Amino acid sequence: MLIASILKVFYWFGDYYSLALLVQAIIMIGVQMVLLKVALDNRPSPGARDGVEHVPFSSENSDGFSRPYGFWQWKSAKPYWLFLAYFLGALSFIQLFLAPISRSELYISSLGYTGLAVEATLPLPQIVANHRARACKGFRLSVLAAWILGDMMKLGYFFFSQEVIPWAFRLCAMFQCVCDCYLGVQFWMYARSSFQTAGSSMELGEKDLRMT
């Protein structure tokens, strides 16, 4: 989300979209930086917890897949801030000193669609996790409802506002809304199957009691 917000800010310099969306992106950058600082300062130390080996910010998941260079899963705080500094520096350098690039339609569109696509695909890891586990354990219905409500409000603003809203915002918002709605479908499917399993277990327990 932090990377997406930074890209959206630089996208504004090439495609002067709604000022409200620019302010939102700037505020989001500040909020995400504070959250990153808090997360890095308070992450637990590696070790066993409740019988489970816990390695925070590990670069390898349970499937054995590791991110290239352990991206965004570094063990110390310094690489995070260095990456953000280099990222901001590179975008600022292009914007200020490489006008042929910063003013090209391809570059401007790339900034917009990349930043908005990153934001739009945020629900995908949750969808994949739910599909693999065949459950929505730990995923609250209130969070899902807030996401879908936010999607509806965002789409309403994008399509009915009188301000300039590029199609990149609309397309990515529609994709994110579809993802969030599918999360709702997953929640309904897996919650129903859980209730059915629980009901079957209770019936078996009652039968066992009657037999004894």
Is pLDDT above 90 for 33? yes
At residue 179, does pLDDT exceed 90?
Answer: yes
Asked whether residue 185 is domain-assigned, the answer is: yes
Q: Is residue 30 part of a domain?
A: yes
What percent of the chain stands above pLDDT 90?
62
pLDDT in tens, 58-83: 545 555 567 777 888 888 899 999 99
CA distance 120 to 164: 20
The domain in which residue 82 lies consists of 1-41+76-211
pLDDT at residue 102 in the model: 94
Average pLDDT over residues 104-110: 96
CA–CA separation, 57 and 44 (whole Å): 10
The answer to the question of residue 59 being in a domain is no
Q: Per the domain annotation, does 47 fall within a domain? A: no
The pair of structure tokens assigned to 53 is 């080996």
195-210 pLDDT tens trace: 455 444 444 454 444 4
Prediction pTM value: 0.80
Q: What total of structural domains would you count in the chain?
A: 1
- CB neighbourhood size of 35 (10 A): 12
What share of the chain has pLDDT > 70, as a percent? 80
How far apart are the two ends of the chain, measured CA to CA in Å?
Answer: 58
**147-169 pLDDT, tens per residue?**
999 999 999 999 999 999 999 99
The verdict on residue 107 lying in a domain is yes
Position with higher pLDDT, 74 vs 12: 12
Supply 81's token pair: 């801030």
Answer whether residue 94 is part of any domain: yes
Packing angle, helices 141-160 and 167-211, rounded to 10: 160
Question: What pLDDT score does 16 carry?
Answer: 93
**Burial grade of 53 (CB within 10 A; 0-12, 13-18, 19 or more):** exposed
Domain-located, residue 20: yes
Asked whether residue 54 is domain-assigned, the answer is no
Q: Is the pLDDT of residue 129 over 80?
A: yes
